[in-house]
Chain A
Amino acid sequence: MKRDLLTIAAAGLVAGAASLAHAATLDDVKAKGFVQCGINTGLPGFAYKDDAGEWQGFDVDYCKALAAAVFGDASKVKYTNLTGATRFEALKSGEVDALSRNTTWTYSRDTDLALTFVGVNYYDGQGFIAKKELGVTSATELGGASICIQTGTTTELNLADFFRTNNMEYEPVPIENNEEARQNYLAGRCDAYTTDRSGLAATRAALENPSDHVILKDVISKEPLGPLVRQGDDEWADIARWTLNALILAEEYGIDSANVDQLAAGGDNPEINRMLGTEGEFGAMLRLDKDWVANVIRGVGNYGEIFDRHIGPDTAIGLDRGLNAQYKDGGILYAPPYR
């Protein structure tokens, strides 16, 4: 009996000791063999299932880029679909390693929620979509309307602020995700749906008669969307941040999936050489391979290619680069130098 007590005490001590050791996320991911990435449950253009049942999209490609950075293989990634309400807890609790789910970077999310935003991959703003037959041209005419709104988002808070400052009443119709919003909006339960304008464009593209619906011209908030990781692991945050920067820098310097192999053999441009690993030991600074950037570009292409592939002007979503063009082209995409 005394032996039983001793065993129990020993087990408790071991368990306590085990909780003291804390592995870094990069080591955990490498041990697992894949990156667990949190994505949307379904937003055309950003995260959607193709005909083969595989997840594709603007945000999904970032996850693939992260996998390519760590493993050299963009397919070593598994996805967890998260709603607006479940995404932060999943990230904080360790269920996913990174969140690429059109999430707005705000002060309180960065500080209070203990999350780390690694950059902005889409500069957006909040808007409204309404049926053309309502004859509404501006959001200020929506007094007294029913508005579908996703819970647990910044759009919810911005909506409340907008209507309060404009002294208008409204009926919020809470919904969990984009599909429910579309159903309620089409059924007439709500007069308008509000979310990021990129989401509105994606939603409208998936409707039967897109021209029957109008995206109102008002942009009522800034919505810088970007990927994020947990607080507390700076190394992993750096890897995530520089993966995004690498995508942007690659477009700035003209590296794309077609010429990456040729440029990786060595060339005249020192910045390209540093990025693709022919000069210096930059990969080792993040405990990654020398040619991690080359792997990323090989896996998913550069920022422009990703944009054009999923949400560009030639796709059903049809978004212009706008603010999301490189700074040299009139936008505000500006990544720090790779040196």
Chain B
Amino acid sequence: MDRSGHQVHEKVADMRPPITSVGWVRWLRENLFSSPLSAALTLVTAYVLYLLVPPLFGWAFLDAVWFAASREECWATGEGACWAIVTTRVDQFVYGDYPADERWRAVLAFVLLLLALVPILFDRVPGRARWLVFSLLYPLIAYVLLIGGVPGLPEVETAKFGGFLLTLVIGVTGISASLPLGILLALGRRSDLFIIRVLSVGFIEFIRGVPLITLLFVASTLLNYFLPPGTSFNLLVRVLIMVTLFSSAYLAEVIRGGLQAIPGGQYEAANSLGLSYWKSMRLIILPQALKISIPGIVNSFIALFKDTTLVIIIGMLDPLGIGKATLSDATWQGLSTEVYVFVALFFFICCFSMSRYSLYLERKLHTGH
């Protein structure tokens, strides 16, 4: 009893929670063993992983041979993957046949590309307006850098482009050239003018209805017939034309979705302000539509990026083509798995990071409204 007469109870220390409901044990219970079926699945999956992953890891890293001169030497040195086929030919994979002493131009063009993308992809960048001018001029700068022909930069013919350089050239040119075309097609599809609408819809449905590879066949076999006798574009230009047309149809659908997402009130407000069709598009509608469509545009770019591998079927040497050409060399025969895994890894890293960025954008735009 204390002085006032109340009974005083000693506070007993709190009991610890049961071990199965805190910490990693709880996590295990809830996520891996929550029910008998779940527990069984976990055990089976864990066993299968145990069977597969360590040998795979050993093959790819621990037993792998990183540097060798030929396949025999590889297999004599170790039992794992013969990554030597990639390390000895890494120049070819990245640049194709681009002349060795001009490669700094390709590297510079790549660095400038990253710089040019910054104001487009990120909002709050200091000096954005002036930076955007650079982004707009970038295609011209890249063309001059890569192909040359001006004093100080000897000309490199496009037939020598290959590897990742070719993939980036086709992808970036395709998406940037198809963007204005896609916007026009999207506007045309929503137009009140009957002829324009019919033409836009016809074009979009035609392009979206045929596989890209048939269009590439048309580019390589038929396009020269459509030009006046005696003229001929080189293959890369023809492929770029077809890829641009292809991508513009898909972009048109993405942008059309963006245009539809804008409340009708915006159109009406623009009209009531007395703005003409093109002025209202340029100042009010398109900026909003493009901002909403950017995740879709990035997804289109990812798809286009993956589709650039198709040029191997018409004989151009993208990384897959370089891989196959390397395999046909007698010193490296039979190592198809290593080559394909390497190229797959490159594409995976690029596309995965782009899709993560697109997700980040979508989330940002969602809360922005």
Contacts and interface: CB of A to CB of B under 8 A. Distances in A.
A186 B327 CA distance: 12
A182 B330 CA distance: 10
Interface in B322-347: 324-325, 327-328, 330, 333-334, 336
Contacts of B327: 179, 183
Contacts of B265: none
B97 interface: yes
Contact of B314 (A22, A86, A180, A187): A86
Nearest to A187: B334
A115 B95 CA distance: 36
A177 to B, nearest CB: 8
A93 B315 contact: no
Contacts of B229: 19, 22, 94
A89 B230 contact: no
B328 A81 contact: no
Interface in B210-250: 220-225, 228-232, 235
A170 B264 CA distance: 66
B365 interface: no
Contact of A18 (B157, B159, B221, B228): B228
Contact of A179 (B157, B225, B324): B324
Nearest to B99: A53
Nearest to B314: A86
A94 B224 contact: yes
Contacts of B232: 93-95
A79 to B, nearest CB: 8
Contact of A208 (B159, B235, B330): B330
B230 A23 contact: yes
B230 A22 contact: yes
Given A86-B315, A179-B324, A183-B327, A53 B230 contact: no
A279 interface: no
Nearest to A19: B228
Contact of A28 (B221, B224, B228, B230): B230
Contacts of A207: 330
A83 interface: yes
A98 to B, nearest CB: 14
Contacts of B235: 95
Interface string A165-208: 00000000000001110110011000000000000000000111
Contacts of B159: 78, 80
Given A41-B315, A81-B315, A179 B228 contact: no
Nearest to B327: A183
A186 B332 CA distance: 13
A15 interface: yes
A183 B220 contact: no
Contact of B315 (A28, A82, A183, A186): A82
Most buried by A among B221, B222, B314: B221
A180 B321 CA distance: 12
Interface in B232-289: 232, 235
Nearest to A232: B229
Most buried by A among B157, B220, B228, B334: B228
B330 A86 contact: no
B325 to A, nearest CB: 7
A41 to B, nearest CB: 7
Nearest to B224: A93
A206 B330 contact: yes
A318 interface: no
B228 A15 contact: yes
17 contacts: A22-B229, A78-B157, A86-B314, A86-B315, A89-B220, A89-B221, A93-B225, A94-B231, A95-B232, A180-B324, A182-B328, A182-B333, A183-B328, A183-B333, A186-B334, A187-B334, A206-B330
Interface of B: 97, 157, 159, 220-225, 228-232, 235, 314-315, 324-325, 327-328, 330, 333-334, 336
